[in-house]
A and B are shown apart, each in its own frame.
Chain A
Amino acid sequence: MVSPIDIRNQLDTFLLSAQKPGRYVGGEFGQVIKNWKKIDTHFAMVFPDLYDIGVPNLGVTILYDLINSRSDALCERAYLPWLDMELKMKEYGIPLYSLESFHPLSDFDIIGFTIPYETLYTNVLNALSLAGIPLHSSERTELHPLIIAGGHSAFNPEPMSDFIDVFVIGEGEEIIHELLDAYAQWRKSGANRLELLERLQQISGIYVPSLYNVTYNADYSIRSVLPISENFPKHINKRFVAKLPDPPSRFLVPSIDVVHNRIAMEIMRGCTRGCRFCHAGIVNRPVRERSVDQIVNAIDKALTNTGYEEIALLSLSSSDYTHLSELVDALTTKYANRNVNVTLPSLRIESFSIQVMEKLRSSRQGGFTLAPEAASDSMRNRINKPISQEMLISTTNAIYQSGWSSIKLYFMVGQPDETLEDVQAIIDLSKAVLQEGRKLIGKKASLHAGISTFVPKPHTPFQWAPLDPLPSVLLKQNMLKDQLCGPGLRMTWSNPRETILEAALSRGDRRLGAVIEAAWRRGAKFDAWQDQFNFNAWMDAFDEVGISHEFYTFREHSLSEVFPWDHISTGVNRRFLENEYQKSKSGELTADCRNNCYSCGILPTYKDLRRANPGNSWLCPEVKI
């Protein structure tokens, strides 16, 4: 076994030949180093991408803080090495190690992966392999760490179920403690690994895939997903915190530049708008807000703890935060002369957003970003994101007039039943916005259209919808590329082949485990990096395993079909989603649910929790006794 000291010393002999060696040595201000020998449970938190991307992750920040606040556990971190470093590590026989104590990952009791998106799956396999840990859950014994995973992609855990022992569904703040307690008790009992998995499955929100059995129909679709014993629940209800705890105020300050160098302050969770393509909008229900005091206090502490000069106020839809004006006023008064920059993404298309942004920034550097997603009224109705043309133009005009010369608009192509007229509307709208801007501020006005491609996601009203076929997406992208050009106009788009992969993995089932492994063996990793994405490796992997990705991508799923994730419950019921899907087809809107409850299912599922937490802490109605 390699010791931490060996690893540290070895690193010094070759790190200078790696790109950005600072990624691989930790040493951040605020990192927690505990006495390894005096701690019972050693937890390694892995964000399966590069250090630069992983360090700013808020989920890791929260769990790192919570686990390290326990006296019986420690939490250290690891990220994936870049390709050059991976080669060096293999050459020198260095396994994946933690940045705090340089212990090999295989020395830890529990390894937790946070997997926010599907294109990290091959990196998870790569991490296990670099750590020298058997890839498959079935090959691991009491001698190996317990491998757990959570994050948004865990709402459909099935594609990774060969590799992960235990999934945590939903928010981690409470369940992490229950999991660590259960682990510690199991360790004391000396029982075997199966016993551990069975005990963990008793915790609400935990899913152990090996304790569930999948059967299939002759047409390849799923017949059932059922627990192997009556002791385990048929449905796994996600966990969430009934009342948002104080936000973290301890953030790591890295010694090198990473993608976001800032305090990430989550002001609310969830969104009441109900856009039909949006995964986050469903899985994060109910909507819960933090108080202005809670936020300002945490920011105060975080500024003192970190010295950061930027704060990002995060949520799915900042404009919907009830006390936004009050919060922005409090922050601007407090930090007026302290060289603190406050950013506020996810603003709605309305003049209020501009007033807020004007208060936050004295200088107008950077652009102003809005996400209309669709440009024609019919498409807006179908996706349930209504905004009138007049409102949009008057907002963008006001933005240009307020001193921002550059506006970025996000649109999506490939949404269900999209026509070429809907695509043409994106072109016309973008040109109209820029033309108006040029009338107001002249040639310095510019517009950037960011065009993504729709991916049907589990647990959303569009979970039944087909992915737009490749030729259709290419046609639409070419149409946009031909016309969204010229002075002041810029367009970026997503690689439609990456979209196919994302779509296949999003709605995948257990049988994709073999494909993920085959793709990884063929060299696929860092799939989320455009320059690393290897479509051929993936297509060859599908061929090798004998599965067609089209079963998961281009096919409209029937309303009676059993989904691979049907046993994982977000609290929002399938009937509600189906109704939304039907309403989408007829172009019918569903209004903001903070004004009127549409019975999505959250309240019946979590009625006891709501009863125990009455009042404004949720934006759902009260539950009658």
Chain B
Amino acid sequence: MIRVRLLYTKGESLKYTGHLDLHRVWERSIRRAGLPLAYSQGFHPQPRIQQACPLPLGFTSVSEMIDLWLTDDLPLENIQNSLIPAVHTGIEINQINLVPLSAPPLQTIVCASDYLAVFTAGKMRGNIETQIQGMLSMTEILRERRGKSYDLRLLIQQLKSITNPKAGIFMRLSALPGATGRPEEVLDCLGVELNTVQIARIGLIFSDQV
């Protein structure tokens, strides 16, 4: 048994595929690749696949991560070569690594996500810099989501406007269990309409990097 960690891109054609559906997309991709995917025991065997923190619907990402368990000890190069033609439309594999079987679950080691919201119009919206500074200067931003109130400010680790390569907003948001910052909430505070930006996840931050 080996445990393989893949870093991959989730592109345009998968952007409306949610976390649970993505699980099936991966299971079938691995089966198409002919790789010996491990399954759990019992009446309803489940594929041994772990995804890192869910990407909200409608976003693309260049840094998604997934762990998969294979029953045979195959060279990484063979695994990658089998996967490349077999992965679902919209997936590109960027990196492949072996991880110890005993490594902690993928979900528990990610502590923050980096997002980039690019203005589809190509230019920065007027007073965005002022608004960002305004938000950052606040000590508390109380918001409500799905009937629960929370402090968004606590979840914002970084927030800045960028112009290179494109005009947009960079966010580093907490991604801990029970304390996950959502980029659309930040954009809402900034008064940026969701249909004026394209949002991509561009990085995952691990606990040991902090």
Contacts and interface: CB of A to CB of B under 8 A. Distances in A.
Contacts of B32: 29, 304-307
Interface in A282-308: 303-308
A452 interface: no
B17 interface: yes
Given A22-B21, A365-B44, A256 B16 contact: yes
A66 B89 CA distance: 22
Interface in B1-50: 12-18, 20-21, 24-25, 27-32, 34, 39, 43-45, 47
Contacts of B44: 363, 365
Given A21-B16, A21-B57, A255 B88 contact: yes
A339 B41 CA distance: 11
B28 A255 contact: no
Given A27-B14, A28-B89, A307-B30, A255 B57 contact: no
B90 interface: yes
A256 B198 CA distance: 21
B18 to A, nearest CB: 8
B195 A27 contact: no
Contacts of A308: 28, 31
Interface stretch (A12-20, A324-332, A469-477, A552-560): A12-20
Contact of A13 (B27, B34, B195): B195
A26 interface: yes
Interface string A28-39: 110100000000
A428 interface: no
A14 to B, nearest CB: 7
B21 A256 contact: yes
Nearest to B17: A255
Contacts of A14: 195
A434 interface: no
Interface string A357-378: 0000001010000000000000
Contact of A255 (B25, B39, B45, B198): B25
Given A255-B90, A304-B34, A16 B194 contact: yes
Nearest to A340: B31
A255 B14 contact: yes
Given A22-B21, A29-B88, A255-B88, A307 B16 contact: no
B27 A307 contact: yes
A604 B162 CA distance: 78
Interface string A463-483: 000000000000000000000
Given A15-B58, A29-B28, A307-B32, A256 B13 contact: no
A365 B13 contact: no
A179 interface: no
Nearest to A15: B16
Given A14-B195, A304-B34, A339-B45, A309 B27 contact: yes
A363 B44 CA distance: 8
Interface in A257-273: 257, 261
A622 B30 CA distance: 48
A308 B57 CA distance: 24
B28 A306 contact: yes
Interface in B87-121: 88-90
Given A31-B89, A307-B86, A25 B16 contact: yes
Contacts of B21: 22, 255-257
Contact of A253 (B14, B28, B30, B47): B28
A257 B24 contact: yes
A306 B44 CA distance: 21
B58 A29 contact: no
A339 B25 contact: no
A234 to B, nearest CB: 49
Contacts of A26: 13
Given A306-B32, A307-B29, A309-B27, A16 B57 contact: yes
Interface string A401-441: 00000000000000000000000000000000000000000
Nearest to A28: B89
Given A27-B89, A307-B27, A16 B39 contact: no
A261 B90 CA distance: 19
Contacts of B88: 29, 253, 255
Nearest to A33: B89
Interface in B54-109: 57-58, 86, 88-90
A14 B13 CA distance: 16
A307 B32 CA distance: 4
A303 B28 CA distance: 10
B132 to A, nearest CB: 23
Contacts of A309: 27-28, 31
A258 to B, nearest CB: 10
Contacts of A28: 89
A256 B15 CA distance: 11
Contacts of B14: 27, 255
Nearest to B46: A339
A27 B25 CA distance: 12
Contact of B43 (A256, A339, A365): A365
Given A255-B17, A256-B16, 17 more contacts: A12-B195, A12-B198, A16-B57, A16-B194, A22-B18, A27-B12, A31-B89, A253-B28, A255-B13, A304-B32, A304-B34, A307-B27, A307-B29, A308-B28, A308-B31, A339-B39, A339-B45
Interface of B: 12-18, 20-21, 24-25, 27-32, 34, 39, 43-45, 47, 57-58, 86, 88-90, 194-195, 198
Considering the complex of A and B, which 7 residue pairs feature the smallest CB-CB distances, nearest first?
Answer: A27-B13, A307-B28, A307-B31, A307-B32, A13-B195, A22-B16, A21-B16
21 contacts: A21-B16, A22-B21, A24-B16, A25-B16, A26-B13, A28-B89, A29-B25, A29-B29, A253-B25, A253-B88, A256-B21, A261-B24, A304-B32, A305-B32, A306-B28, A307-B31, A307-B86, A308-B31, A309-B27, A309-B28, A309-B31
